[in-house]
Structures are given as C-alpha cells and as structure tokens.
Structure 1
C-alpha cells in the first residue's frame, strides 16, 4: 500500500500562516523542526514570489521582531467558493424578480467599469487604447494576448475568465463585456470564440471605426 506524499515545506508554511496568522522565523523553525537557515531560505523565495510579506512588531522587552504573513496572492492559493454563493444569490434574485433583473445587474456593472476605465482612454489613439485594454484585462486575471493584424484591426485573446462559472450560466455577462470594449475603444468589436460556450479562449476582433 502506497504511503501518502508528505506536504512540501512551502505548503506547510503557507498552511501554518493561514491557520495561526503571522509567524516569526523562530516560531516556524520550531514548528517544522528544520534549521533556521532552511526556513529563511524558504521565506526568502516565498516573499520574492509575493506569497508572504514581513512586518515588524514591537515586543514588551527587547527589539522588534519580524513576522511573516500571507499576502493577498498567498490567500488566493486557498480554495474559495465565491462563485457558488454568487450563483445561488443570482438564482434567488432571478426566481423572485425575473431574468431581466439579473441582466440589469450586469448592465450596471458594465456602466461602473466603463466609468472606472474611461479616464485611462482619454487622449489615446486607437492603437494605445487597445494595448491599454489588454493590460487592464491582464491585470484583472484574464491572461490576455493582443495581436495586431493591420493598422485598423487587432485580435484580443483571453485565455482565462475569472467569472467563467457565472458567465456559463448567465451569457449576458459576456455580452456586457463586448459592449464595454466597444464603448472604451470607440471601435467595432466582434467575439468569435468564447470560454463560456465551450471555446478554448475568448477571441475578440477589434476594428477601428
């Protein structure tokens, strides 16, 4: 009978910080039973990767001590079930008030995002707007790639969709994204492939007017 694999040291440290909060190097060393040098090496790599961050805390006696805790990126490694809650709430809303109410919520979200990003498009030409949109989507976790076909046309590809579970149920979310792109870019936008409709990626053909 095979034995279960031991959890990697880095994962152990992350789990310890998740369950107990920020910890000092000494506390981590005592918990893991390895050398302090090894712990510092792991902490250095994890801090470099943006998984943890250090801060100084004051002691009753002696010098302040450095403790390490999870960053937002580190927290994101632990399972979250937000989409299930969101789908449940949207389902209840749809049952109580109808599908049009849910669509209205997505429309409101589009308007909000348009107000948020429109100032970043001011003063930019078509080329600059498309590249900035690709950056915005990448920053929001869409794993974008932008390819220039000619002076008047780009292909924007998104290999990840942070709201895919919601978009799979409510395709209006995808329609709102397309309209948002059209508004921000003042361009003609056509979606030729969609992750929410069994595509391998979302593909947008963007043409200047």
Structure 2
C-alpha cells in the first residue's frame, strides 16, 4: 500500500470516528473491509501523530478491549469556515457602524497582540526578534521563514495567510500587521509583496 493510500485510509478512520464516535479495532476492521493487522498499523500511526486516543473498556464477555476516539488535536484536521463567519460579522458591523468601526476593531486586535507578544522580544537583538517573530507566525499558520540580507537587514517571508479572505476584503488588517511588526521589532519594516493583494507571498524587509 503506498503512502497516498495509507493517508486515505487514515482519513477514512478519522471520518468514521468523527461521525460514529468511539470504535474498537474490530469495528473499524468491519467498516473498512481490510485486515485487522492493517487497521492496527493505521491506528498506531494515528496515535503516534496524536490524532486519536484510546480507552480500555470491559465487555460482558471476553477480555477488555480498547476503543478509540479523536483527540483534541484532530479537530484541526476537519474543515472549518471561520473566515465566512468572521466576514459575515464584519459585514454586519460595517453596515451598522461604518468602515471606521471595522478598522477600529483591527486596531484593537493589534494592541491586544502587542501586549501579548512584546515580552517575548525583551532582551533580544534585532536578529533574535526577527527569528522569534518568524516562530510566532509559524505557530499561527503563516508558514514563515527569515533570512539575513545585509548588515542589520533581514527579510521575513510568509507563504500562507490564515486570514486571507478577511484581509482581502478589509485591507486594514494588513496595515495593522505591518504596524504590529514595527512595534514588536522596534525597527523599520516595509512590505514588498502581499498575499491579500494578489502576491504569491507576504515579504517584509526589516532594517535597524
């Protein structure tokens, strides 16, 4: 069985656990129509990746058996359309209170993020701050990387934008991110490319 087929089978197991609740190896084997050995191999891989967890239950007859369920981490595997809800809410706010109120909301988010993150930058030189910012953005799904481009000059690149749909409609979100970076890094920051404006990535040029 190739890697693509393995992934497909594991996805099916996760779909089953999502829709049917806790299942034993025997239950999964019966549903998929593959060998118990193959099911155990997939379960082992899913446990290794912390996508499922197990509980041992006692049966009226026979030995105790393990039943499997999705872990909290597995929720990220399933599609979420938070952006659609966010866009609806922002559209309602814009219709009720105007564009300025929407911009104010993004400004407040920037202030909140600054308070939350600025302590992580304390005691670091500019390179250390850029590296930390890249780590923070990676944790938030931005697929970020950084490199040094000259003396006290750096380039931070983001290949993904988790709030793309929101930022595409409300560009002030991008302005707030740029302002946040300037404050966190205490440096000059310019953006040359932007995903929300049709670019293939977001690129920030940082200078002391």
Contact in 2 for aligned 1:195/1:201 (Cα 8 Å): yes
User: Which residue of the partner structure matches residue 4 of structure 1?
Assistant: none
Pair 1:56-2:52 in alignment: no
Question: Cα–Cα, structure 1 residues 60 and 25, in superposed 2: closer, same or farther, change >3 Å?
Answer: closer
TM normalised by structure 2 equals 0.89
Matches within 5 A, 1:94-109: 94-109=94-109
Contact in 1 for aligned 2:57/2:66 (Cα 8 Å): no
Per-residue CA deviation, residues 150-186 of structure 1 (Å, 9 max, x unaligned), is 2311000000000000000000000111111111111
Contact in 1 for aligned 2:54/2:66 (Cα 8 Å): yes
Question: Cα–Cα, structure 1 residues 150 and 120, in superposed 2: closer, same or farther, change >3 Å?
Answer: same
Contact in 2 for aligned 1:54/1:66 (Cα 8 Å): no
TM-superposed CA distance for 1:15, in Å, is: 1.1
- Structure 2: stretches of 5+ with no match in the other structure: 1-6
Whose helix fraction is larger, Structure 1's or Structure 2's?
2
Per-residue CA deviation, residues 83-113 of structure 1 (Å, 9 max, x unaligned), is 1111011001100001111111111111111
Pair 1:204-2:204 in alignment: yes
Matches within 5 A, 1:55-74: 55-59=54-58, 65-74=65-74
TM-superposed CA distance for 1:57, in Å, is: 4.3
TM normalised by structure 1 equals 0.88
Q: How many residues align?
A: 201
User: Which residue of the partner structure matches residue 8 of structure 2?
Assistant: 8
Q: CA RMSD in A?
A: 2.0
TM-superposed CA distance for 1:122, in Å, is: 1.1
User: Which residue of the partner structure matches residue 86 of structure 2?
Assistant: 86
User: Which residue of the partner structure matches residue 166 of structure 2?
Assistant: 166
